[in-house]
Amino acid sequence: MIIQITKTRNELFLLKKMLPIWKKYADAFVFLLDECDDGTYEYLTENKKKYNILSILQTKRSSTDLTVMSEYRQKLFDEARNHSDKIICLDTDEYLDGYMTKEKLFHLLEDHKNTVFYLRWIQYTNKYKIRTDGPWKNVFSADRIGSYQDPCKFNYNILHPTHLPIPKNIIKIDLPDLFVAHLQWLDKKSVALKQYYYKIWDYVDKKVFSADTLPPSAYDESVNNFNWNYEFFQFPLKVSSNIYSEDRDITNDYKWKFIKENIKKYNIPNLNDWGMEIHGD
């Protein structure tokens, strides 16, 4: 059995579209809900049998403690290993695609114990176009599939841990066999909101907890001021390219509220919101 693990936070509008796609490679699911209050728990509970959801973990953050994302990932991973040693880890805005069948993937994981597989990370911008500027050309940074005969631990990381713990073996799977489709860059306003949210989160962690965080310039480099290069991609996007803008008010997003609350609380200056009017006064 191949289990997919996913940590999600108030992304029910994505989950509803992604679950049928995820079933192409996953036999069962384990979720960790990170302070969800948008009906995600209720939806997953109602659809447990339909999607073979084995566990729905929940976590609640404390404003007085430093949030360490690698600890969340470890909790999710360990729960999945109670059921299987073959694990896929995807964020809510990702899915696997390619010519490889589930049966072939299963046997690949069976034949390569204690191995993490690195895949191409494809950045869709519409149905047939992908982003290829900067670090996004031919990138093999998607650690989303692993076979874990033995227990394995994540390295400590506050905000951006690996998706799976790294065992002793690493193998690459190339196109067109299998790749990770990423939806992040489909909507520029949503991109700006997400990246600016990380800027503010890092600012607060550094100020309150003296944590070692990324500088705002790291997110500027990722966004590249929206000056992107594009290429045609042979695998069409499996969801609507308007998935982020359909029936969604961005000002109701938890990231928007977090930004507004904390810039006021800590008198945070504009860290460069790319002119998207996210920071505000």
Pairing assessment for the beta strands 28-34 and 2-8 based on DSSP bridges: parallel
The pLDDT of residue 64 is 75
Q: With 70 as the cut, is the pLDDT of residue 170 above it?
A: yes
Amino acid identity of 191?
Answer: V
CA 115/CA 109 separation, integer angstroms: 8
Q: pLDDT-based confidence at 139, cuts 50/70/90? A: confident
Residue 269 three-state SS: coil
Angle among Cα 267, 273, 279 to the nearest 5 degrees reads 40
Provide the token pair at 35.
């302070």
CA distances from 250 to 143, 225, 264 (A): 29, 20, 19
Contact 223, 206 (CB under 8 A): no
**Rounded average pLDDT over 178-186:** 96
Q: Tokens 């597989």 correspond to what residue?
A: 117
Query: Which positions ≥6 away from 221 have C-beta within 8 Å?
Result: 134, 135
pTM exceeding the 0.85 threshold for the entire prediction? yes
In the chain, the domains with their CATH numbers are: 2-182 (3.90.550), 189-265 (no CATH)
Contact 11, 82 (CB under 8 A): no
CA 248/CA 16 separation, integer angstroms: 14
Percent of the chain past pLDDT 70, that is, above it, reads 99
**Rounded average pLDDT over 127-145:** 87
Q: With 80 as the cut, is the pLDDT of residue 82 above it?
A: yes
Q: pLDDT-based confidence at 143, cuts 50/70/90? A: very high
Q: With 80 as the cut, is the pLDDT of residue 209 above it?
A: yes
CA 279/CA 268 separation, integer angstroms: 9
DSSP state of 124: B
Segment 21-70, tens digit of pLDDT: 999 999 999 999 999 999 999 999 999 999 999 999 998 877 778 889 99
Helix (H) / strand (E) element for 231: namely strand 230-232
Segment 229-257, tens digit of pLDDT: 999 999 999 999 999 987 678 888 999 99
The pLDDT of residue 247 is 64
Residue 69 three-state SS: helix
Contact 88, 2 (CB under 8 A): yes
CA 20/CA 241 separation, integer angstroms: 17
Contact 41, 56 (CB under 8 A): yes
Average pLDDT, the chain: 94
Contact 188, 99 (CB under 8 A): no
Provide the token pair at 131.
């982003």
Percent of the chain past pLDDT 90, that is, above it, reads 88
Task: Please give the backbone phi and psi of residue 279, each rounded to the nearest 5 degrees, phi first.
Answer: -70, -45
